[in-house]
Amino acid sequence: MSDWTEIVLHAIPIGIGATLLMDFWAILLKRFFGIPSLDYCMVGRWIGHFSHRRLSHKNIGQSQNIQGECTIGWTAHYIIGIMFSLLLLMVCGLSWTNQPTLLPALTIGIITVAAPLFLLQPGLGAGIAASKTPRPNLSRLLSIAAHSVYGIGLYLSALFLTLFHSNV
């Protein structure tokens, strides 16, 4: 098996695990603090409009619905989570999965916050770094926190895989 294949085969469960932890974090925020999370159906709507050459919206909630937008959005969310885990493994190498450490995973998690701040939020109509939202600093803080949790999830998922592999 090639190194590239092994990297991809490790990136998939690590990315899914990290994304699941990020989603669990969002559920906790909503349940205990009433803080809503990103609506991935709106992400799907945004992506669905790419085929119409529309990359940004004044307010994605007021844009035309796209058939299957929820499926598109949630699928994209997990694919992106896998892609960011792939980035971690490309930077750190496959050897990181044998003895994962928190700092590289957390660093990648924090770096990934650039995607929503400078790509997703402007595309959805929230402005660069949520500048058009009612409480931009809170939105930014929540994005940083979510992506930090994702980074912790990268580490924990890789750690879980090492435990699984040591028992096989």
Domain extent for 109: 3-166
For position 167, what pLDDT does the model report?
53
Q: Domains in the chain: how many in total?
A: 1
pTM of the predicted structure, to 2 decimals: 0.94
- Judged by phi (left if over 0) then psi (alpha if -120 to 50, else beta), residue 86 lies in alpha
For position 166, what pLDDT does the model report?
61
List the one residue out of 64, 102, 119, 86 whose CA is nearest residue 16.
Answer: 86
Task: Tell me the per-residue pLDDT of 137-150, one tens digit each, with 9 for 90 and over.
Answer: 999 999 999 999 99
Q: What is the distance between the alpha carbons of residues 106 and 91, in angstroms, rounded to a whole number?
A: 13
**φ, ψ for residue 47, nearest 5 deg:** -65, -40
Q: What is the distance between the alpha carbons of residues 166 and 112, in angstroms, rounded to a whole number?
A: 30
Task: Tell me the per-residue pLDDT of 84-111, one tens digit each, with 9 for 90 and over.
Answer: 999 999 999 999 999 999 999 999 999 9
Please, what is the average pLDDT of the chain? Answer: 94
List the one residue out of 61, 69, 35 whose CA is nearest residue 146.
Answer: 35
For position 168, what pLDDT does the model report?
47
List the one residue out of 62, 60, 58, 88 whose CA is nearest residue 72.
Answer: 60
Q: What is the distance between the alpha carbons of residues 83 and 86, in angstroms, rounded to a whole number?
A: 5
Q: What is the distance between the alpha carbons of residues 68 and 41, in angstroms, rounded to a whole number?
A: 9
